[in-house]
Structure 1
Amino acid sequence: MTSPAPHDVTVIGCGTLGTSLALALTRAGRSVALADRDPHALARAVFRGAGTELAPDSPPAGLVVVATPTAAVVDTLYEAQTTGLGRAYTDLTAGNHGIWDEARLRGCDLRGYVPGRPRLAARPAGPAAGLFAGRPWTVCPYPLVEPDALDAVDLLVRTCGAHRDDVPPGTRPSTPIPERGRR
C-alpha cells in the first residue's frame, strides 16, 4: 500500500452523517468527492457545499468513507475496493465487529480497512460541519490493518475535531451509540 494522502477523500453516502463529514472536511480544505445511489441526496449534499460529485475517471482517493446504512456497508466496501476507488477505507457504522467479519468472508482487503464510528450525544437533526467536534470517534484497528490506513483514519478524526478512541476488536464502546438510521 502506498502512503495515502487523506487530503482527498471520497464519501459514499450523502445522508446526515456522510454529508456532515464531507462538510467538515471541505471546511478544513480537503478535496471531497461524493457518491450516493440516491441522486437527490447527492444533489442536496453538493448544493450544501459538501463536495463535488465523484467522476467516473477520478483517481483513487487517499481515503474512502462508507457512510451508508449498516446493511449496505460490506457490499459498498467490496465494490469500492474492487473498482480501486481509494487506498484506505473506513465506515461510520455501529457494530463494526460483525461488519469486519462479513467483510472478511466477502473477500474485502482488510489491510486497508479500519472500522470506525463517531459517537454522538443525540440523533442529529440534519447535516452540520461541526457535528463531530469534541466527540469521541471509535476506531477498531484490527491486527491486519496497515499503518498508512490507520494514519489516514486518524487524520480524518482529527480534521473533524473529534478525538480517537481505540476499541479492541470484539468490544463495545463505553458511550451509547444512537439507533441506526439513514446516514
Structure 2
Amino acid sequence: MDAAVMHSALVIGTGLMGTSVALALRARGVTVHLRDVDPAAARTAAARGAGTERPPSEAVDLAVLAVPPPLVGGVLADVQAEGVARHCTDVASVKAEPQHDAFALGCDMSRYIGGHPMAGASRSGPLTGRADLFEGRMWVLTPTADTGTETLNMVLELVASCGAVPVLMQASAHDRAVALVSHAPHVVASLIAMRLENAGEREVSLAGPGLRDLTRIAEADPALWLDILSANAAVVADLLEELGGDLDRMVVGLRAIAAMDEEKRRGGAEVVEAMLRRGRSGRARISGRHGTRPERFEVVTVMIGDQPGELARLFSDAGRAGVNIEDIHVEHAAGLPAGLVHVSVAPGRTTPLREALHAQGWQER
C-alpha cells in the first residue's frame, strides 16, 4: 500500500487540542466532522471553520479522540462499535492508562494508536484553538505489537498535516518522560503560585518576568490537570519525592550559609553553588531545542512481514541499539505478504542501526 491519504476525519472533543487538530486538517483540505458532549463547544469550533457538526454519512478515515485520559478507552470502544471511523488515535497527555483501558474493553488495537502532541496553552476551549499549534512540535506515538501498518501510516499523515515531528515511544516510557518535563513542573509551578495567594499586595507588585514565566502554566484548568495527574500519579509522585530530597539539601545548605560559623558558611555555599550549577547545566539541555528539527534525516529501508508484532520488534531492536526513530513509513510490496519499512534517523545514526538490525536478522533493501 502507498502512503496513507486522509480525506475525512472525525474530531471528538473541541477544546484547545481538538479544535487545533481540526483547524490544521481543514487547512489541508480534509473534511472534518466535529463531536462534543457540549454542543455549544462544537458549534463554536464549527463557527471558527474547524469543521461541520453534521455526522459523517460514511466511515471517516480517522477519528481523533481529544478527550481526557480517563475517557479515551471508553470513547474508543464506542467509536469502534459505531463503525464511524476506519482508524483511531487520541491526543491525551498520558498513554499507559488509556492503552490499558482500551485492551481491557476489547478494542481493536490493530486500528488504534495512542498519540500525544507536545504542545498546549494555559487556556482551554474552542476559542483558543490554532491551526499552527503543533508546528515543529514533537508528537509522540505509542504503537503496540498489534498496531496495523495502515493505522500507523494514517496517523503519521495526521502528524505531517499538523506540521509536527513524530516520535515513537512505548507508552510507559512516554509517561515517565512527560512526568519529568511536564507533569511535575506543573505541580511545582502551582505550589510556587500558591505561595502568592496570601501575599501582600506590595509583595506581589514586585513580581517580574522570572516569576511570571515560572508560574504561567499554573493558570491551566485545575479539573483538567487533576485528570492528567491522576492518570500518571505514581510516576509524578516518585519525581516529586526526589525533588523533595533536593529541596531538603538546598535548605540545609542555605541554613549553613546563614550560620555564624565560617566553616559552615563555606560548606553551605559549596552545596548551594553546586546545585545551582547543576540546574544551569540541566537548563542548557533544553535551551534552544524546543520546536527545532534536524535539517535532514537519513533513511534505512528493511523488509517487514505482515504478521502481528513485527513493527513492535523493529522499534525494540532500534531502541536497544540506542537509535531514536525520528519518522517511519510502511508500504506493502505488491503481491507479497510483506512490505518495506523506511526508517528515518538523525544523521550519523544509520551505521549503528544497520548493524543492530542485521544482527537481529532484518533484511535491508
How many Å separate the matches in 1 of 2:87 and 2:34?
16
Whether the 8 Å contact between 1:4 and 1:62 is mirrored in structure 2 is no
Residue 24 of structure 1 deviates from its aligned partner by 0.6
Unpaired runs of 5+ in structure 1? Answer: none
Matched residue of 1:117: which SS?
Answer: strand
Whether the 8 Å contact between 2:142 and 2:170 is mirrored in structure 1 is yes
Whether the 8 Å contact between 2:5 and 2:157 is mirrored in structure 1 is no
Quote the residue 2:30 is aligned against.
30
Matched residue of 2:174: which SS?
Answer: coil
Change (3 A) 1:85 1:114: same
1:128 aligned onto 2:130: yes
How many Å separate the matches in 1 of 2:160 and 2:224?
24
Q: Larger RCO: Structure 1 or Structure 2 (Cα < 8 Å, ≥ 6 residues apart)?
A: 1
CA deviation string 1:66-89 (max 9, x = no partner) = 001222211111100000011110
Whether the 8 Å contact between 2:35 and 2:53 is mirrored in structure 1 is yes
Amino acid across the alignment from 2:92: T
Q: TM-score, normalised by structure 1?
A: 0.90
Quote the residue 1:65 is aligned against.
64
Quote the residue 1:116 is aligned against.
115
Matched residue of 1:33: which SS?
Answer: strand
Q: When the two structures are aligned, how many residues end up with a matched partner? A: 179
How many Å separate the matches in 1 of 2:25 and 2:135?
12
Which of 122, 144, 149 is equivalent to 1:142? 144
Q: TM-score, normalised by structure 2?
A: 0.46
Residue 124 of structure 1 deviates from its aligned partner by 5.2
Matched residue of 2:140: which SS?
Answer: strand
Matched residue of 1:171: which SS?
Answer: helix
1:181 aligned onto 2:224: yes
Amino acid across the alignment from 1:21: V
Amino acid across the alignment from 1:18: G
Amino acid across the alignment from 1:144: D
Computed over aligned residues only, the root mean square deviation of the Cα atoms, in angstroms, reads 2.0
CA deviation string 1:74-119 (max 9, x = no partner) = 1111100000011110000022111111110011111100000000
Residue 4 of structure 1 deviates from its aligned partner by 6.4
Whether the 8 Å contact between 2:9 and 2:33 is mirrored in structure 1 is yes
CA deviation string 1:47-73 (max 9, x = no partner) = 000001142x62111110000122221
Residue 121 of structure 1 deviates from its aligned partner by 6.4
Change (3 A) 1:169 1:106: same
Quote the residue 2:172 is aligned against.
170
How many Å separate the matches in 1 of 2:74 and 2:171?
21
How many Å separate the matches in 1 of 2:52 and 2:182?
29
- Residue range with higher mean Cα deviation, 26-35 or 123-132: 123-132
Whether the 8 Å contact between 1:23 and 1:49 is mirrored in structure 2 is yes
CA deviation string 1:146-167 (max 9, x = no partner) = 0000000000000000000111
Amino acid across the alignment from 1:23: L
Whether the 8 Å contact between 1:119 and 1:177 is mirrored in structure 2 is no
Whether the 8 Å contact between 1:4 and 1:87 is mirrored in structure 2 is no
Quote the residue 2:20 is aligned against.
20
Quote the residue 2:160 is aligned against.
158
Matched residue of 1:102: which SS?
Answer: helix
Runs of 4+ in structure 1 displaced over 3 angstroms? 121-125, 177-180
1:50 aligned onto 2:61: no
Change (3 A) 1:153 1:147: same
Change (3 A) 1:177 1:122: farther
Whether the 8 Å contact between 2:11 and 2:32 is mirrored in structure 1 is yes
Unpaired runs of 5+ in structure 2? Answer: 187-222, 226-365
Change (3 A) 1:177 1:86: farther
Quote the residue 1:86 is aligned against.
85
